[in-house]
């Protein structure tokens, strides 16, 4: 059985852009003091499910729903938020390896997405955003007429 994989060269460009953004973010942070970093980039998976929806899953551990902002404007999906140390002061830490601070991630949406029907849920530290395709963009079965 052969699996068909759709190649999208723009995915490679987006991945490279994300890597470069992470590199510059790390350089701007400087040092090893995680509490001073001030920004981070949550990891995201994007895939198409069996309902022909794009699904974006972002790992946002230890965040509250009210600290997450989601907008769709001009075919761009933006996820913003702030991960706080939840009442723990810098002088109380013995070691900090997790990153705290604000973040913003933006994703260009294809024109096939119905931006009016975007939905989101946040559960167990994972934000799941469902981006349904427009009806006319969904695959449809074509009946073959007999001769």
> Smallest Cα–Cα separation from 48: which of 136, 119, 120, 138?
138
CATH number belonging to domain 9-137: 2.60.40.790
**Which pLDDT belongs to residue 35?**
39
pLDDT digits over 51-110, tens only?
889 999 999 998 999 999 999 998 899 999 998 887 787 788 888 788 888 999 999 998
What six digits make up the tokens of 8?
A: 């999208």
Mean pLDDT of all residues belonging to the chain: 81
CA atoms within 13 A on the CB side of 145: 1
> Smallest Cα–Cα separation from 113: which of 130, 100, 96?
130
Structural contact between residues 99 and 34, judged by C-beta atoms closer than 8 angstroms: yes
pLDDT digits over 43-60, tens only?
999 999 988 899 999 999
- Average pLDDT of the residues in 103-124: 92
């Amino acid at each position: 059985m052969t699996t068909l994989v759709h190649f999208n060269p723009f995915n490679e460009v987006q991945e490279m852009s994300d890597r470069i953004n992470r590199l510059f973010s790390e350089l701007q942070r400087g040092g090893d003091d995680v509490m001073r970093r001030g920004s981070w980039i949550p990891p995201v998976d994007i895939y198409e499910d069996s309902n022909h929806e794009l699904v974006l899953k972002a790992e946002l551990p230890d965040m509250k729903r009210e600290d997450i902002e989601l907008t769709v404007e001009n075919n761009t999906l933006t996820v913003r938020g702030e991960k706080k140390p939840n009442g723990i002061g810098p002088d109380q830490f013995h070691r900090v390896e997790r990153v705290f601070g604000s973040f913003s991630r933006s994703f260009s949406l294809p024109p096939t997405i119905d931006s009016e029907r975007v939905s989101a849920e946040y559960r167990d530290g994972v934000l799941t955003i469902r981006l349904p395709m427009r009806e006319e963009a969904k695959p449809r079965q074509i009946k073959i007429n007999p001769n």
